[in-house]
Every structure is written in structure tokens, then in C-alpha cells.
Structure 1
Amino acid sequence: MNSISRTPWQIQRDVMHALLVREMKTRFGKWRLGYAWVLLEPAMHMLVLVAVFSFLGREFYPGIPTALFMLGGIAPFLFFGQCFTKSLAAVASNRGLFSYRQLRPFDAVVTRVLLEFCIYLFSLVALLGILAWFGVAATFNDFLLLVAVNILFLGFCLGLSLALCVFGERFPEAAKFGPMIQRPLYFMSGVFFSLEHIPEEYHPYLSWNPLLHVIELTREGLFASYHGMFADMQYLVMSSVGMLAFGLLVYRANWRDLVRSQ
């Protein structure tokens, strides 16, 4: 009997693996192009913005091709947007699984966030490589900065997702407000502009947004010629730790109700 017993870590690993496979089938199985959407979605966003601003005859940053500049903003924002949208429905879409004692809403949320994080990193690296193959490249800057920013970004999105999974279950109407919140954030988060190009009197209104600091610091890590002088790493650390703590506390206070609500 002892030979087939499993440790709690092994059980958790198997649960996460099963959820990950299920999420991948759900995420890509219904689309005709399947896993190609990992690259097609950010590529289409990038190409549309490049076409628009090329038509206007604008070059955003010296030494950085417009496609790379846009990609440095689009990829992080799409990761945030997917976490935001999917976490609101995380409990409802996995409700039938919570009858299993080993599985909790926390597992479903963490699996979704980790899957989207892996998709984000893969799409960013793959598209940078594809663009470089076509001769669209810029001098790389700081790998350790990229690692630090993305770890903090992952913590921020995980905390936000845990809080939103509770709000989405308690207030089902919240899902309808998701797009209404994301649309203005798309225009306020530096996806297609640099904070350097915005008059300084507007910086206090924009700098409260952690996404703006993520994108500015991501571009600084990616491109040697980019200087995110207005990005604040300390603010990003505080925002990420604070959001993760908030999400864990909200989930901890409500997880039993989430399970019983089925």
C-alpha cells in the first residue's frame, strides 16, 4: 500500500498537470488554427498598429523599429488581458471539478495564470526571433531586468486573478464590465506610446498604473537604446507584492464559499 501512496506535492503536481492539459484543450482546441493563435494574436495586433502609425509616417523611438516597439507593449498587455478576463469565470467554468477533494479554485486560477504567462513569454521570444530573422532587430539590453520585471508581473497578475475569481463568482455581472475596464487601460498603459513622449504634467495621472511601469521596464530590458527614465521599479515591486497579498487574503477569506456555491 505504501508503494502507491503519494505525497501532497505529487498530488498537487498531478492536479496542476491535469488542469493544464484541460486548459490548453479549452484554449486552443475550438480554433481551426489551434496553437498558431499563440503567435497570430500578438502578431495581428502588432501589424495593425505598425500599419496605422507607418501610414501616419511616425517613428516612435530612435534605434528601435516600430514593430519591436509595439511588440514590447502588446505582449505584456495581452497576458494581463487574458488573466483579467479568464479569472472572472475561473470558478464557474471549473465548478464541476471542485467536487474532487484534491482540487480547489486556487488550483484553477494558478493554472490559468501560469499557462497564459508561458504563452506570453513564448510569443514574445518567438516573434522577436522571427522579426530578427527578417532583419527587424535592435540591440538587446538587460536580461536580469527582464527576469525581475516578469517575476513581479506574474505575481501582480496572480494576485489580481485570485481577487477577480472571487468577485466574478459573487458578482456575475462583473464579467460584463471587464471589457469596459480593459479598453481604457489599453490606451493608458503605454502599449503604443512611450512615457517620454507625454508631457510631464500628465505623468502623475498615468504613473499610478502598474501596467505602464511593466511595459516601460520591459522595453528598457529588451532594447539598449530605450531609456525608461520615468519607470519606477520600486513602485512595481510595491504594486506586485501588494496585489498578490490582497488576492491571497481575498481568496483565503472566501474559498470555502466558492466551493460550496456549486
Structure 2
Amino acid sequence: MVRIIFALMLREMATTYGRSAGGYIWAVLEPVLGVTLLSVIFSLALQTPGLGTNFPLFYATGFLPFAMFNDLTNKVATSIRFSRPFLAYPSVTFIDAMIARVLLNALTHIAVIAIVITGIYVIYQLPVVVNLASVFEALLLITLLAVGVGTMNCYLMTAFPIWERVWQIITRPLFLMSGIFFTYDLMPSQAQNILWYNPLIHCIGLMRRGLYPTYQGSYINQELVIAVSLVLLVLGLMLLERTYRNLLER
């Protein structure tokens, strides 16, 4: 199983990054440019960010976890389609394909987050007071949530192709509903009562708790994120285990 997963990871590295100019450089440049653009736009519109005084750090702590969740979810959801030729072999299962994509892309995003955040601290000469335990916990919960949502979507998108379009439509507001631009604490109480059930807002809050020593984030509930993730993961795996061979023949 380890050899199969490693081979699938190498294949994805070659197909995803090896064919593009710059390869892995774009994996770093894309979030850097995104954080820079948002920082410039919102620094002109707002006097101070929701936390601290540095716009790039504030938006990076929201944008990068969201980008990690969004990309991992899509990669897991399309893992059967991506590795369909190899799933014809009895020794390769859909779980191998999922694990390979999760490992490769999670490690890539963690490296990108580390590079971007470190770069912001160095460029702006910010005092480094980081709670690594909270940061690692946030990254772990983001990965778990993405795997749960992605596994369920993997079944739905493979069984019902129209679900991919539906998912893109219903998740467009997620960028604004996950506390990227404004912290949960600054939102109106009516919005808080609804957005509290968004697991991603807890993950982003946990990331900011790790990078802002004065930020408490009393609303953060790790149990909610774990419960939603595990329910979707178990349900998705059960559905795929029963039907994925039939789905491959479509």
C-alpha cells in the first residue's frame, strides 16, 4: 500500500506541477499574489484589520487556511476521476488514491503557509509570538474537514455529475462566510448565530489564535469540526465502498 500511494503521489507531482512552467513555484506565488492583492485593496478601504495592525498577516491567516480547505476538498472529491485508469488494477483502491492526494496536497499547502507567514514576519519585522500547538491543531482540523467533505463529494460527483456544478454554486458565499475579512467576534449577533455552524470559521479562528497571542476566540469549538468531518467521512466511505466499482464503469 505504501508503494502504491508513493507511486500515485509521484504521478500527481508530475502531472500537476511538472507540466507547468515553474512547477512548484506557482504553488507559492499564487497565494502570495492573492494575499498581496487583498492586502492592498482592503488597506485602502479600512483603517485597521480585524486583528493587529498588519493587513498581510491578518488576511493570510484567513485566506491561506480557506485555500487549503478548498483545494484539498476538490482534490479528494476528484480522486476517483483522476486515478480512474489505475483503479482497474485489483491492488489499487480508491482509498489509496485519496490518501495519496491528501498527503501530497496537504504537505504542499502547509509548506506554502509556513513560507508566506514567515515571509510576512521577516518583511514587516513583526514580533514572533506563535502558539505552534494551535497552528498545528488548525491545520489538522482543516485537513480532516476537507477529507470528510471531499469524500462525501467524491461519491456525489461520481454518481451524480451535476453535483459538481451545484457544489460550486452553493459554496461561492463560503469565502465571505468563513471569517476571512472580518473575525467572528465583529459580526452582528444574527450572523453569528448562523455562521457558528460553519466548521471552517472555527478552523480559521483557531489559526488566528495561534498567531495572535491576545486573540481568545471563545466561540471556537473543535468538537463541532471533528463531528462534522467524521460523519461525512464515514458516510462517504460507506457509499463509495458499496458502489465505486460500478461507478468506474460509467
Same-fold call, TM > 0.5? Answer: yes
Query: Out of 14, 21, 29, which is 1:40 matched to?
Result: 29
Report the residue type matching 1:175 in the other structure: E
Aligned to 2:2: 13
Cα distance, 1:212 vs. partner?
0.7
Aligned to 1:30: 19
SS in 1 for 2:85: helix
Task: Report matched runs for 1:107-126 at 5 Å.
Answer: 107-126=96-115
Bigger shift: residues 218-227 or 185-194: 218-227
SS in 2 for 1:188: coil
- Report the aligned-residue RMSD: 1.9
**TM-score when scaled to structure 2?**
0.91
Aligned to 1:81: 70
Cα distance, 1:97 vs. partner?
0.9
Q: Please state if 1:57 is matched with 2:46.
A: yes
The share of aligned pairs that are identical, in percent, is 26
Preserved contact between residue 169 and residue 258 of structure 1 (Cα < 8 Å): yes
Q: 1:174 and 1:62 mapped to 2: Cα distance?
A: 37
Q: 1:172 and 1:62 mapped to 2: Cα distance?
A: 41
Aligned to 2:186: 197
Name which one, 1 or 2, has greater alpha-carbon Rg.
Answer: 1
Change (3 A) 1:116 1:136: farther
| Structure 1: gaps of 5 or more residues | 1-11
Cα distance, 1:209 vs. partner?
0.6
Cα distance, 1:156 vs. partner?
1.9
Change (3 A) 1:44 1:181: farther
Change (3 A) 1:71 1:101: same
Q: 2:51 and 2:79 mapped to 1: Cα distance?
A: 42
Following TM superposition, where does structure 1 have runs of at least 4 consecutive aligned residues deviating by more than 4 angstroms? none
SS in 2 for 1:140: coil
Aligned to 2:59: 70
Bigger shift: residues 112-121 or 83-92: 83-92
Change (3 A) 1:178 1:26: farther
Any idea what the Cα deviations from partners look like across 1:23-75, whole Å, max 9, x if unmatched? 11222123212111121111111111101111113311353511111111111
Cα distance, 1:138 vs. partner?
4.7
**TM-score when scaled to structure 1?**
0.88
Cα distance, 1:176 vs. partner?
2.2
SS in 2 for 1:95: coil
Query: Out of 81, 100, 117, which is 1:92 matched to?
Result: 81
SS in 2 for 1:134: helix
Preserved contact between residue 129 and residue 212 of structure 2 (Cα < 8 Å): yes
Cα distance, 1:192 vs. partner?
1.7
Q: 1:89 and 1:235 mapped to 2: Cα distance?
A: 26
Bigger shift: residues 162-171 or 136-145: 136-145
| Structure 2: gaps of 5 or more residues | none
Preserved contact between residue 72 and residue 215 of structure 1 (Cα < 8 Å): yes
Preserved contact between residue 87 and residue 165 of structure 1 (Cα < 8 Å): yes
Q: Please state if 1:137 is matched with 2:117.
A: no
